[in-house]
Amino acid sequence: MINNVRERNPMPEQPIEVRCDNFNEVALGYTEADAIREAMRCLNCRKKPCVAGCPINQQIPEFIAKVAVGDFAAAYDIITVKSCMPSICGRVCPQEQQCEKNCAHALKGEAVGIGRLERFVADWYAARNPISVPEVEKKGKKVAVVGSGPAGIACAGDLAAMGYDVTVFEKLSYAGGILTYGIPQFVLPNEVVNRHIDTLKAQGVEIVTSSPIDKSKSIDALFADGFEAVFVGNGADIPQTPRGLDTSLEGVWSANDYLTEVNLNTDALPASIKDAKRVLVVGGGNVAVDAVRCAKRVGAEPIMVYRRTIAEAPARRDEIEHTREESIEIKELTNPVECIGKDGKLVAVKLEKMTLGEPDASGRRSPVGTGEYFEIECENLVIATGTSYSEDVVDTTTGIDKDKWGGIAVDDGFKTSRPGVFAGGDAVTGPQVVVKAMGAGRRAAVSIDEYLSAK
């Protein structure tokens, strides 16, 4: 029976007064009763607008119908046809800009909590089922995967399930890409990511960490080692800095470096982070929100500065809400223009007040300087204004074309211009979202299988 209430069932969360002192997950997940109640709100719309909004066209009403009748195992079976990472996507997908944006309930009330239900189903399954992988007949062909982010994990997992011998080469000393070093544990706990890494290992995938593919070991060298195809999923992790900011001062951090320290080196933070009393984070995306909430948890007084208004900010709404709940100041229409240092250390940032002008190419109203300036004293400035492509892989390999923005150029089958080399995820699209990287990795695996089967 449909439960036609307009508000969605609230997500249980760690109390605000407790969570700012720890890195534990803030959202605690639905209980079985919460999930059934929420699933009963789904109208099972004939045209399935939610499915059209999902980048991988997840079978949303079908899995929700199973949750509504308490058949969580069947719901899991449906979800995992399209997604190999429901526990991750259920936590980090910007559902309000995707499936939930299209939900029929959103016209007059709150969308069905599709992401919350996806997370519930995946967590329910993981809590009851140890990792197990089916026996597969080996094909006797080796495939290399460059990068262990969601694109690489998804591609490697699907290829291993088809019987290929897969080796993942990861430049860092740990696997997981942004899922591990970037997104903090209070949003995405390590154990959720580790289950995926452990599943790959159980499938026989070899993960070689601290092993960059670059001039020291190129894609040509991988082919010479007997790999018959290569998937490149090395992301887009080179920080972009707003013009004019002196990043050489101690205390000025790229968001990636700051998050890596706080997420992976929490107990031995560098003095520059540990001793900072005030931290300014510049940006309006998920990265900025993650960084500013990390700064709060390491004991600083954080301020997020964004050159547009929060209404235009690309960060997920849930995370902006959590930021506000955690009493973190957000200064809208504010842009840093100068880092002020003393004895090589950051002591303050000069900022300009902005106003909104005409819409730009993104469709959002563009920020325009007012010529009015002010300063904020701070010890850290964390720059979260975007990243771009690394040249490590492409520029050390002949025959891989780039598109006009610098990403790896691929066709619909994720083939690059070099036969046998495929690519997907942020390395192709620029910074995007986890579900798109995962989808690209999976579709590339199908193409790689077609390519190797025809060889």
Ligand X SMILES: Cc1cc2nc3c(=O)[nH]c(=O)nc-3n(C[C@H](O)[C@H](O)[C@H](O)COP(=O)(O)OP(=O)(O)OC[C@H]3O[C@@H](n4cnc5c(N)ncnc54)[C@H](O)[C@@H]3O)c2cc1C
Residues in contact with ligand X by CB under 6 A are: 92-93, 146-152, 169-172, 177-178, 182-183, 212-214, 233-235, 237, 259, 286-287, 290, 316, 390, 392-393, 425-427, 431-434, 437
The radius of gyration computed from the CA coordinates of the chain, to the nearest angstrom, equals 23
CB 282, CB 276: distance < 8 Å:
no
Query: Any contact of residue 45 with ligand SF4 (CB under 6 A)?
Result: yes
Q: Does 155 bind ligand SF4 (CB under 6 A)?
A: no
Cα(300)–Cα(274) distance, integer angstroms: 8
Closer Cβ to ligand SF4, 72 or 169, answer by number: 72
Q: Cβ distance 418 to 397 under 8 Å? A: yes
In this chain, which residue has its C-beta nearest to ligand X?
149
CA contacts within 13 A on the Cβ side of 131: 13
Q: Kindly state the smallest distance separating residue 90's Cβ from ligand SF4, in Å.
A: 14
CA 237 to chain centre: 12
Nearest to 183 by CA among 82, 43, 288: 288
Residue with tokens 């002192």: 21
Comparing C-alpha atoms, which of 253, 163, 238, 280 is closest to residue 430? 238
Exactly one of 48, 91, 307, 322 binds ligand SF4 (CB under 6 A); which one? 48
- One of 114, 145, 175, 438 touching ligand SF4 (CB under 6 A): 114
Q: Would residue 78 be called left, alpha or beta, if left means φ above 0 and alpha means ψ between -120 and 50 degrees?
A: alpha
Name which of ligand SF4, ligand X, none residue 209 binds, using a CB cut-off of 5 to 8 Å depending on partner kind. Answer: none
43 binds ligand SF4 (CB under 6 A): yes
Site for ligand SF4 in 321-350 (CB under 6 A): none
Q: Taking CB under 6 A as the rule, does residue 103 contact ligand SF4?
A: yes
Closest CA to 26 of 406, 288, 294: 294
Number of residues that bind ligand SF4 (CB under 6 A): 14
Distance between CA atoms of residues 276 and 302, nearest Å? 10
CB of 85 to ligand SF4, least distance (A): 20
Identify which of residues 125 and 258 has a Cβ nearer to ligand X in the complex. 258
Nearest distance from residue 213's CB to ligand SF4, in Å? 41
Q: How far apart are CA 362 and CA 366, in angstroms?
A: 9
CB of 257 to ligand X, least distance (A): 11
Please, which residue, 206 or 338, has the CB nearer to ligand X? 206
Question: How many angstroms from the chain centroid is the CA of residue 200?
Answer: 19
The answer to whether 50 contacts ligand SF4 (rule: CB under 6 A) is yes
Q: Binding to ligand SF4 by residue 75, rule CB under 6 A? A: no
Instruction: Quote the tokens at residue 22.
Output: 């720890």
407 binds ligand SF4, rule: CB under 6 A? no
- Does residue 249 interact with ligand SF4 by CB under 6 A? no
Binding site for ligand SF4 (CB under 6 A): 42-45, 48-50, 60-61, 103-105, 112, 114
